[in-house]
Amino acid sequence: TDRKKLHTAPVGQVFRLRPFHVLIATGGGYAGYKKYEDYKLEQLEKRGIEVPVKLASEWEVALYKSVPTRLLSRAWGRLNQVELPTWLRKPVYSLYIWTFGVNMKEAAVEDLHHYRNLSEFFRRKLKPQARPVCCLHSVISPSDGKILNFGQVKNCEVEQVKGVTYSLESFLGPRICTEELHFSQAPPGNSFQQQLVTKEGNELYHCVIYLAPGDYHCFHSPTDWRVSHRRHFPGSLMSVNPGVARWIKELFCHNERVVLTGDWKHGFFSLTAVGATNVGSIRIYFDQDLHTNSPRYSKGSYNDFSFVSNNNKEGIPMRKGEHLGEFNLGSTIVLIFEAPKDFKFHLKTGQKIRFGEALGSL
């Protein structure tokens, strides 16, 4: 009779899942998986073993595209907006920092308690001098990331990784009105690639930069240029990590992307921000009408917006290094531009690069 009574609760009440529990569980599981995948790739690179190209079949791509990645990405975006309790912020962000190798010493605010939610942490700003802009070269890296591929565009095909290509016309979409870009009219019989090259003796070049989840998520202007047009493709949101890029041909053409086109001193210039799983949000700072991963847009279409008007004949002038936009997580940036034949890249495939470092010059 002197024993204390033991009060119990229903099992369902004890094990009730809450958003924080789901966040920690999925984050921890993904962290372990990511570490294992990185370890396998590191071992292959140390041995000098090149991973053979194995493309996905049509049914595999169709199966992947059937996954509601856009809906999941919107849900993930809302979860990222949930304000974390102060006591939970440090363990959650520390797990992310350990998983993806984030260097918080570069952050403008190093105190983890300052970031109210994951979205704020993803879009953290850097200290003013953390990324000096190279003044000696004409084209700089617009972001932190890994160089997947670069070089001349050949036969209207662009390499997303070595040995895996995509169509230049499918990626950029139909050619934009020449009056808008102030380009000379190319003969109608010319290929899409030849129509983009406006000056005799020039070539078309490309560079693909993959932003990992741990990288700085803002991107900047890679050179001095004038943005005349925006084209938004509301496609799928498949992963764009190098492993998937080796597996799915024309991956960048399937995914949602924002194509900015214009011109620089040597002719045509474009920067494309490619979305990915959990990266449904692509923001361009000067474009308030852009809304990515929105249910009102259907796959397979695109919508255009011109920055050239009667009141603004020059479009949007951008200076090298100027803030241009941001992702909510890692993704990919593709540069496609015209330059003289003596343009040289100062890169190696697979190298890590940071915003402000040289990509190439004449």
Quote the pLDDT of residue 153: 92
Determine the pLDDT at residue 11: 47
pLDDT at 248: 85
Active site residue 331: yes
Q: Is the pLDDT of residue 14 over 50?
A: no
* pLDDT for res 189: 52
Give the pLDDT mean for 279-297: 83
Comparing 36 with 332, the larger pLDDT belongs to 332
CA distances from 261 to 71, 213, 222, 240 (A): 29, 26, 13, 22
* Annotated catalytic residue, options 220, 229, 232, 254: 220
- Give the mean model confidence (pLDDT) for residues 196-223: 92
Residue 95 has pLDDT above 80, yes or no: yes
pLDDT, residue 325, reads 93
Strand partners, 107: 126
Residue 18, phi then psi, degrees to nearest 5: -120, 160
Instruction: Encode pLDDT of 38-70 as tens digits.
Output: 567 666 656 766 656 678 788 878 888 788 878
Q: Name the percent of the chain lying above pLDDT 70.
A: 80
Mean pLDDT check: name the lowest of 31-40, 283-292, 298-307, 308-317: 31-40
Residue 220 annotated in active site: yes
**Residue 53: its pLDDT value, please?**
63
- Could you give the CA distance from residue 341 to residue 198 in angstroms, rounded to a whole number? 13
pLDDT at 44: 66
Rounded distance between C-alpha atoms, residue 331 and residue 174, angstroms: 24
Active-site annotation holder among 221, 228, 281, 331 = 331
Between CA 324 and CA 217 the distance in angstroms is 11
Average pLDDT score over the chain: 82
What is the three-class DSSP state of 264? strand
Half-sphere exposure for 169 (CA within 13 Å, toward CB): 10
Token couple for 239: 């992963």
Banded model confidence at residue 179, pLDDT cuts 50, 70, 90: very low
Domain boundaries defined on the chain: 139-174+190-361
Render pLDDT for 74-91 as a digit per residue (tens, 0 to 9): 787 788 888 999 999 999
Confidence label for 298 from pLDDT (cuts 50, 70 and 90) = low
Choice among 73, 141, 144, 266 that is catalytic: 144
pLDDT score at 18:
58
Higher pLDDT, 7 or 119: 119
Q: Taking Cα atoms as reference points, which of 94, 100, 249 lies closest to residue 162?
A: 249
Residue 83 and residue 117 in contact, taking contact as beta carbons nearer than 8 Å: yes
- More confident site: 59 or 171: 171
Q: What is the pTM of this model?
A: 0.81
| Residue 286 banded pLDDT, cuts 50, 70, 90 | very high
Does 215 qualify as catalytic in the annotation?
no
Both structure tokens of 310:
């009667």
Output phi, psi for 282, to 5 deg.
-115, 120
